[in-house]
């Protein structure tokens, strides 16, 4: 493994990321065959949550249990993190007692500061800037359904948020082209676009952006912490809904993904969400398998295996 921590997709090499996904696919099959995957009895995962979640908590907690370990849920209300203890001090103490730390929080600098002072691997389970664990699940879903994504065309439709920015990193690591369609003023960070301009194109017309795309991806228009912007964002983003009409401009066999939770009738139409051939539910399940493979890799690396 090329990195001790997993804060963005760029912490690992492209080859390492593909190996993790291949292992995730294998572990998914093992799970369905009833294979005992408890390779790390006694291991402890500290789960630091400043933002609430369904998929993140369930997938990490179930994943470490299936590996033979235990999860410890830590919220700011229940720890000194919520009472002003420096992140650096908390990192030193928590990491001295556990084997892995997973953090879901607001500013990306929080996970960076924690990792800099942690003696065990730290996993970014979502910040305002990046959501790399979701990208592992998304890439696993594509690979299971379509094979290699290298050379394919991907379209992001909606807000230039943490998911969009993670797709920019994914374009670099998995070697696909990415077109981003978002309203003016809601673009991803300029430095990310500049650093990846050889494979990332920013557009404001969703039809133009989605044309002939192999994969179309979206997310909610107002993320956690932006609830007061909901009404204004609905007005700006309505032309960017992923629906049957928009998908008609993509490749005939295009897939569409959504990291969930979804607002049916806003960023994605209800008929697409509930379509029999939707892979969104597979995508959600793959959070478990991708993160289990990630934790296995980090535990092995940290133990020098």
Per-residue b or e along 141-162, where b marks 16 or more CB atoms closer than 10 Å to that residue's CB: bbbbeeeebeebbbbbbbbbbb
Catalytic residue among 5, 104, 152, 172: 104
Q: Enter the DSSP assignment of 164.
A: H
Asked about 104 being catalytic, the answer comes back as yes
Asked about 190 being catalytic, the answer comes back as no
Residue 95 CA from chain centroid, whole number: 23
Catalytic residue among 131, 172, 179, 258: 131
Residues 216, 280 contacting (CB under 8 angstroms): no
Catalytic residue among 99, 129, 159, 219: 219
Catalytic residue among 128, 155, 259, 291: 259
Catalytic residue among 23, 128, 133, 134: 134
Residue 249 CA from chain centroid, whole number: 26
Asked about 204 being catalytic, the answer comes back as no
Catalytic residue among 5, 55, 287, 289: 287
Asked about 155 being catalytic, the answer comes back as no
Helix ranges (H only) for the chain are 14-33, 55-66, 87-95, 108-116, 132-146, 162-174, 190-195, 206-210, 230-237, 244-247, 270-273, 280-302
Residue 70's H or E segment, with its range, is: strand 70-74
Asked about 134 being catalytic, the answer comes back as yes
Asked about 219 being catalytic, the answer comes back as yes
Annotated active-site positions, please?
104, 131, 134, 219, 259, 287
């Amino acid at each position: 493994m090329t990195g001790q921590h997993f804060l963005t997709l760029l912490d690992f090499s492209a080859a390492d990321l593909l190996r993790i996904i291949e292992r995730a696919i294998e572990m998914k099959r093992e799970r369905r065959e009833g294979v005992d995957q408890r390779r790390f009895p006694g291991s402890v995962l500290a789960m630091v949550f400043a933002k609430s979640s369904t998929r993140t908590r369930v997938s990490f907690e179930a994943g470490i249990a299936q590996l033979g370990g235990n999860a410890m849920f830590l919220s700011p209300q229940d720890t000194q993190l919520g009472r002003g203890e420096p992140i650096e001090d908390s990192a030193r103490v928590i990491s001295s007692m556990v084997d892995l730390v997973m953090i879901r929080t607001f500013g990306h600098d929080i996970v960076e500061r924690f990792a800099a002072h942690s003696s065990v691997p730290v996993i970014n389970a979502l910040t305002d800037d990046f959501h790399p664990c979701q990208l592992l699940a998304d890439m696993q879903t594509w690979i299971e359904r379509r094979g290699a994504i290298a050379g394919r065309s991907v379209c992001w439709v909606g807000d230039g948020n943490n998911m969009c920015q993670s797709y920019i990193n994914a374009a670099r690591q998995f070697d696909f082209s990415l077109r981003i369609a978002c309203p003016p003023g809601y673009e991803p960070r300029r430095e990310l676009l500049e650093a990846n301009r050889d494979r990332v194109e920013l557009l404001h017309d969703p039809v133009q952006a989605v044309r002939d795309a192999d994969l179309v991806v979206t997310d909610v228009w107002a993320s956690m912490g932006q609830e007061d912007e909901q009404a204004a964002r609905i007005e700006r983003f309505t032309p960017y809904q992923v629906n049957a009409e928009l998908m008609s401009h993509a490749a005939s066999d295009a897939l569409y993904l959504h990291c969930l939770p979804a607002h049916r009738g806003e960023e994605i139409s209800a008929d697409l969400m509930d379509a029999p051939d939707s892979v969104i539910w597979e995508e959600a399940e793959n959070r478990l398998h991708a993160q289990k493979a990630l934790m296995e890799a980090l535990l092995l690396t940290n133990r020098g295996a």
